[in-house]
Structure 1
Amino acid sequence: MPRTSESSTPRILVEDVRKAFLLRHTHSFKETFVAALRRKKLTTDFRALDGVSFEIGEGEAVALLGYNGSGKSTMLKMISGVLRPDSGKVLTRGRVAGLIEVGAGFHPDLSGRENIYLNAAILGMSKKETDERFQSIVDFSEIEQFIDTEVKHYSSGMFLRLAFSVAIHTEVDILLIDEILSVGDEPFQKKCLARIRELHAAGKSLVVVSHDLDMVSDLCERGILLRDGQVAFDGDSKRAVEMMRV
């Protein structure tokens, strides 16, 4: 059974959210000019989210499911605050840490050490908190020998390790994860999943987007299935995965 919050106030409230993007059909001035002469449509409105509503309680682990273009990653970015809805509202209660794009927020000309402090500050940690947790962050990332190297020389896997390690060492209330566990070797993935389960057991709210359906159905009790920007199902994660596979 999905875990229910002891608090009546949800950690995440999404209410009638709509978001559209303008898709351009030309890639240069010449193409635009030719298309205009031929009276072809230059742009199309794409409605990524169309009246989406749900609540996520304290301590819930929820999978956002759907095929490519269904709106799940857009919804995750709304919750993180990276994007704003065209209409409706998205409210969060507590500190949010988002593992949405590997290396997002990293400055390429700064070292791994400097980026730990930069990212920790972005996530709301004081310098004292970061000092206290610095070695744990480095140990978890397993990249200590490169910690004073500029991150522009890091591989995507090294970005992942450092970004994940910083995020899970903050005092987070809501953790957002988007496909990030698909990067890195298997032992590190298992260590990440173990840490995520620890955070969930400690009462943190999780929102996960992944194409690994077996993993999310095991990790999350609840699944919200999006189709064409709308909620098609909201309930048991294993049932949501079954609907995805039909």
Structure 2
Amino acid sequence: MGDNHVIRVDDAGIRFRLHRRSRSNFKDLFAGRKRRARSDEFWALRNVSFNVKAGEAIGVVGRNGQGKSTLLKLVAEVILSDEGSVSVDKGVAPLIEITGGFVGDLTVRENVYLTAGLHGMTKHEINERFDEIIDFAEIELFLDTPYKHLSSGMKVRIAFAVISRLEEPILLVDEVLAVGDKAFREKCYRRIEDLLESGRTLFFVSHNERDLRRFCTRGLYLDKGELVLDGPIDDVLAHYNSDYGIKSRKP
């Protein structure tokens, strides 16, 4: 992937069916990729194009249901586009859904090894970082507790502690830190700043304007599944606030 781009999204679209029982008919199999949407289809994203260089910190802005989380899942390659193309040249550490990769009946200890292993860490690497992960999560007393018995805040702690220790150069964060307490959230934010200083690339979804300004220099404004604006984060927030009559916070 040339020009130092680690992510390239070209005219990408993701289509969902409104009714689970709806099925494609025979004609759909031969329909063009640019065909008009059916009445029972919903495009979560469409006509989205942008490139990302290594080390950029990007805030994804928009109301609920406008495609922000879908975009992160597209970059994480959790879902594939129905139109266009997405190329990701580097590995991704996704903090998108706190339950992803964790098994309720397994203990915290077992889940650390399972989840880190699923993300490509060897057992030796996990052994080396295990104490560091647990110390960061502040969850030493619950190592042998089944994951399903943890509070939402504890689940966020252990998830962030594991994901932020991965060596992947692209970090995706999707509002999950809003569940944690203020002190731990600040601890996570300092960790994100450390990762940015080391050259990581960040996709950050949040409704908190102050947080977006803190981490991000560039913004992507999504509305109704389409990319309205790609530019400096201050310009993107100003555009979004103007569209919805929101009083902007001073940087």
The Cα of 1:70 is off from its aligned counterpart by 1.5
- Measure the CA separation in 2 of the matches of 1:130 and 1:110: 17
Q: CA deviation at 1:44?
A: 2.6
Contact 1:10–1:55 (CA under 8 A) maintained in structure 2 = yes
The whole-number CA distance in structure 1 between the counterparts of 2:11 and 2:225 is 11
In the alignment, is residue 132 of structure 1 matched against residue 135 of structure 2?
no
Report the equivalent of 2:247: none
Name the SS for the 1:81 alignment partner: coil
Q: CA deviation digits over 1:67-86, x for unaligned, max 9?
A: 12211111111111111111
Q: CA deviation at 1:25?
A: 9.5
Aligned to 1:12: 7
Q: Deviations over 1:168-195 (max 9, x none)?
A: 1111200000011211100000000000
Residue 230 of structure 1 aligns with which residue? Answer: 226
What RMSD, in angstroms, separates the aligned Cα atoms of the two structures?
A: 1.5
| Contact 1:61–1:205 under 8 Å retained in 2 | yes
Q: Which of 166, 191, 194 is equivalent to 1:195?
A: 191
Aligned position for 2:204: 208
CA contact (8 A) 1:16 1:52 kept: yes
Encode CA deviations 1:110-154: one digit per residue, 9 max, x unaligned. Answer: 110110011111111111111000000000000110011110111
1:166-177 equivalences in 2 (<5 Å): 166-177=162-173
Partner of 1:21, secondary structure, is strand
Per the alignment, in what secondary structure is the counterpart of residue 239 of structure 1?
Answer: helix
Give the secondary-structure state (helix, strand or coil) at the position aligned to 2:71: helix
The one-letter amino acid paired with 1:8 is D
> Quick one: percent identity of the two aligned structures?
43
Q: Which runs of 5+ in 1 are unaligned?
A: 1-6, 27-42
Match of 1:155 among 151, 176, 182: 151
Please report the TM-score for the alignment, with normalisation by the length of structure 2.
0.86
Q: Distance in 2 between matches of 1:158 and 1:137?
A: 13
Of 86-95 and 232-241, the range deviating more from structure 2? 86-95
The SS at the match of 2:47 is strand
Q: 1:36-68 deviations in whole A, cap 9, x for unaligned?
A: xxxxxxx73111111101111100000111112
Instruction: Check the 8 A contact 1:217/1:241 in 2, yes or no.
Output: no
Does residue 243 in structure 1 map to residue 202 in structure 2?
A: no
* Distance (whole Å) between structure 2 residues aligned to residue 192 and residue 60 of structure 1: 19
Relative distance call for 1:25 and 1:168 in structure 2 (3 A) is closer
Matched-pair contact (CA < 8 Å) for 1:48–1:70: yes
Matched residue type, 1:207: F
1:104 and 2:100 aligned: yes
Could you tell me whether the CA contact under 8 Å between 1:19 and 1:87 is conserved in 2?
yes
- Is contact 1:62-1:223 (8 Å) kept? yes
1:21 matched residue in structure 2: 16
Residue 8 of structure 1 and its aligned partner are, at CA, apart by 2.2
Secondary structure in structure 2 of the residue aligned to 1:24: coil
Q: How many residues align?
A: 224
Separation in structure 2 between the aligned mates of residue 108 and residue 49 of structure 1, nearest angstrom:
32
1:1-33, Cα deviation, whole Å (9 max, x unpaired): xxxxxx82311111110111111399xxxxxxx
Match of 1:54 in 2: 50
Q: Segments of 4+ in structure 1 off by > 3 A?
A: none
Distance 1:25 1:136, change over 3 A: closer
- Counterparts of 1:22-41 in structure 2, within 5 Å, are 22-24=17-19
User: In structure 1, what is the Cα distance between the partners aligned to 2:153 and 2:44?
Assistant: 29
Q: Report if aligned partners of 1:19, 1:49 keep a CA contact under 8 Å in 2.
A: yes
Q: Distance in 2 between matches of 1:142 and 1:67?
A: 33
Residue 90, structure 1, aligned to residue 86, structure 2 = yes
Kindly state the Cα deviation for residue 104 of structure 1 after the two structures are TM-superposed. 1.2
Aligned residues of 1:63 and 1:224 also touching (Cα < 8 A): yes
